[in-house]
Structures are given as structure tokens and as C-alpha cells.
Amino acid sequence: MWRAIASNALTLFIVLLVALAGLLAWGREQFTGPGPLEQAICFRVERGDSLSAVSRALEEQGAVSDARIFRIGAEYSEKSDDLKFGSYLVLPQASMAQVLDSLTAGGQSTCGREVNYRISVASAEVVLRELDPATNRYVEVVKFDPAVVAAPAEYLDVAEADDIRWRVTLAEGVTSWQVVDALKRAEFMTGEVAEVPPEGTLAPDSYEVERGADRAALLAQMAEKQAATLATLWAQRAEGLPYDTPEEALVMASIVEKETSVPEERRRVAAVFVNRMEQGMRLQTDPTVIYGITKGEGVLGRGLRQSELRRETPWNTYVIDGLPPTPIANPGRLSIEAALNPEDSDFLYFVADGTGGHAFARTLAEHNENVARWRQIERERGQEGQGGVQD
């Protein structure tokens, strides 16, 4: 009898082991296999949330199939105490393991809201955006220029939140004075700026920052990036250029940057100025004249006068030979590349063509015809201006 009891107990034990193994395999499959989520969501972990609270919220929002399995998987992975406060993008069919990795990896939130302080030539705008998880694209919530209006309530209501991502974006062609002036109005940054960085030395780009970031430190980061870009591209420059130093190339790049916003034109515009320098012609470009008037402190906001074209300043390329003494803005990488590798062409002139681009010419006669067409366009639009390189 005892032998039968022992045999039955052993059989039951084996059955239980098999059942347990099956249960573990099923749980592992549930934890690592595709999840039930059909559409991406933005899941928020509140500060101080427990694993139990998070797992229940995930199940309620359809991100995991079973809160208990999620908790057990977190405990088994030794990540139960690693939850990070913030908002996280959970993709369709993300496994529990993938969700857990997202919520415990650390770093900035991958979902939710972002403030982008965009510094451009004409303005500096604070843009509050929120990620639409369904499209994985940011949707603009509110936009304002702090120099013009007070911060709206939609911004103030969320500006102090810990999980907002902060970004400062510097557009190509902005002057160093404009950058410093805009950063001084960025209430989410701190610290004083002792002096305006030399013109041209700040790299246009998008910089991720934290609330309370130091202004001077961000400027130093911009300068470091521009110096590295210039050094790299200088080493890859074409032969026979009419400037001997990286600093001179930066001056040329800034002129190219201010003359065209069409990427495909940059190398051709650079070629015009290189060709003129090689032939001993003056550059005669309006943006340098404007810089001589404003010194980069703001926008002129009107057309140039004939008296200003004749006025002697160190930057007026209608009256000086060669390059001006400094850049006239902060050029982007593409304009630096263009200045160091201009197009192989014999164009000597260009003027606006009414489409946002320019008409190029090899001879003065061709150029005068292009200018006449542009003047007609201006008259039809009720505008007056210069718009190109003349002789």
C-alpha cells in the first residue's frame, strides 16, 4: 500500500512540475510576446508611482494583457524598483518586456510635450508641442514670441512640469547678437552672458537642453560645434580658392548664407563670388551693406538706399575690395561646404527671379536683362529693392 501511495505521490509531483513548467512557459510567452495594444499611446509614470499602480494603469489602458504577469516579470528582471518618472511612447503590439524597458531605461521622456525655442532672423518663438502617439508626430499646441507678447496660459500651465523636453533651435543666418538677445529672453534658462560671441562662430542646429540650463554653456557648445565643422570642412576644401584661412572661408560662407535660402543654389552663389574675387571684381552684395548699417543688431526692415550703397563701412562690398573683415551672420554647414567647394561655373552675376531663387548670368548684358525682369516683377508687386550681385 505504501508503495502505491508513494507511486501516486510521485506521479502527482511530476504532473505538478509539468504544469508549473507549462505555466512558466506561458507566462514567459505573455511577457515577451507581442502585446495587445492596437494603437500607440502616451503612457505617463507619475512621480512616486508604485509598480502595482503602474501595472494596473498599463492593463487599464490596454498596453499589457495582465498586470500580475507584468509585475512578476519586473521582479524577475530585477527592475521593479527602476521605474522612471515621465511620459513614454508605447508602440502597438509592444511586449511587456519592451514596455518595462521603456519605463526603466532613464533619460528624457520619449512622449508627451516639448518646448522648442526657435531663434530665427526675424523672431524668436517659443513653440509648445505635444506628441500624437497615433502618428508619432508632434502637434503644435501654442506658439508665441516672448519679445512681443506675454506667455499664454497654455504654456504657463505646463512649463514647470518635470517631464517636458526642452530644445533651442538656431536657424541659419542669425547673427550672434540676435542669438544672445534671444537667449536673454528665454525664461527657462539661467546665467549671464558676458559678451557676444564673434560673428559666425555659432553653429546653427537644434540643441537639447534642460530647464535652468546655463546660457553661456549653451553658447560655448554652439561655438565648439561650429569650430569642429569648420575644421572638418576646411580639410576637405577644393584647391585654388581665393582665401587662405578658415576664417576667410567662414566670411564667404556667411555671405552665401544670407544671399540664398535655396539649398541647390549655395554652391553656384559661392562660385559667383569666387569668380569675381579671382577677376579682381568687387563682391557688391547687399547683405554686407546691411550688416555695415545694423552691425547684426536686429533687422533693417526696409530696402537699401543708394546713399547706403555708397557709404563707406568695413563691410560695404560695393566700396571695398575682397572680403569684409568678419562674417555677417552664423552660416550653416551647407553654406560652409559651398564656400569651400563652389560649383565649377563661370557665372559672375545673379539677381532674384521672383520664385525665391535667382537668375544667374555670365555677362553684364545678360545680367541687365535679368535685372530688368526682376524690376518689372517688383513693380507689379509694388516693391523696391536690390536683390543680387551687380556691377
User: How sure is the predictor about 81, in pLDDT bands with cuts at 50, 70 and 90?
Assistant: confident
Is residue 21 scored above 60 in pLDDT? Answer: no
pLDDT digit string (tens) for 124-166?
999 998 877 777 777 888 898 988 888 888 888 877 776 788 9
Phi-psi region of 356 (alpha: psi -120 to 50; beta: other; left: phi over 0): left
Tell me the percentage of the chain whose pLDDT exceeds 70.
Answer: 88
Is residue 6 scored above 80 in pLDDT? Answer: no
- Going from the C-alpha of 37 to that of each of 42, 59, 70, 151, the distances in angstroms are 12, 10, 14, 37
Q: Reduced to 3 states, what is the DSSP secondary structure of residue 258?
A: helix
Which helix (H) or strand (E) covers residue 207, if one does?
strand 206-209
| Mean pLDDT, range 289-300, rounded to an integer | 89
pTM: 0.76
What per-residue confidence (pLDDT) applies to 230? 97
What per-residue confidence (pLDDT) applies to 386? 47
What are the start and end residues of each CATH 3.30.1490.480 domain in the chain?
Answer: 26-104
Torsion angle defined by CA atoms of residues 271, 274, 279 and 282, in that order, rounded to the nearest 10 degrees? 110
Judge: domain 26-104, CATH 3.30.710.10.
Answer: no
Q: What b/e sequence results for 231-252 when a residue is b if at least 16 CB atoms lie within 10 Å of its CB, and e otherwise?
A: eebeeebeeebebeebbbbbbb
- Average pLDDT value for the chain: 85
Torsion angle defined by CA atoms of residues 339, 341, 344 and 350, in that order, rounded to the nearest 10 degrees? -20
Most confident of 2-11, 161-170, 343-352: 343-352
| Mean pLDDT, range 45-72, rounded to an integer | 83
Using CA atoms, how far apart are residues 190 and 155, in angstroms rounded to an integer? 19
Is residue 391 scored above 60 in pLDDT? Answer: no
Residue of 115, 209, 94, 105 lying closest to 161 (CA atoms):
115
Spatial contact of 263 and 349, defined as CB atoms under 8 Å apart: no
- Going from the C-alpha of 159 to that of each of 9, 144, 151, 154, 188, the distances in angstroms are 65, 14, 10, 9, 8
Spatial contact of 255 and 291, defined as CB atoms under 8 Å apart: no
Using CA atoms, how far apart are residues 193 and 209, in angstroms rounded to an integer? 17
What per-residue confidence (pLDDT) applies to 344? 93
Is residue 24 scored above 60 in pLDDT? Answer: no
pLDDT digit string (tens) for 88-112?
778 778 888 887 887 787 665 667 7
Q: Say how far residue 255 (Cα) sits from the centre of its chain.
A: 22
pLDDT digit string (tens) for 189-244?
999 999 999 999 999 999 999 889 999 999 999 999 999 999 999 999 999 999 99
What per-residue confidence (pLDDT) applies to 389? 58
Is residue 25 scored above 90 in pLDDT? Answer: no
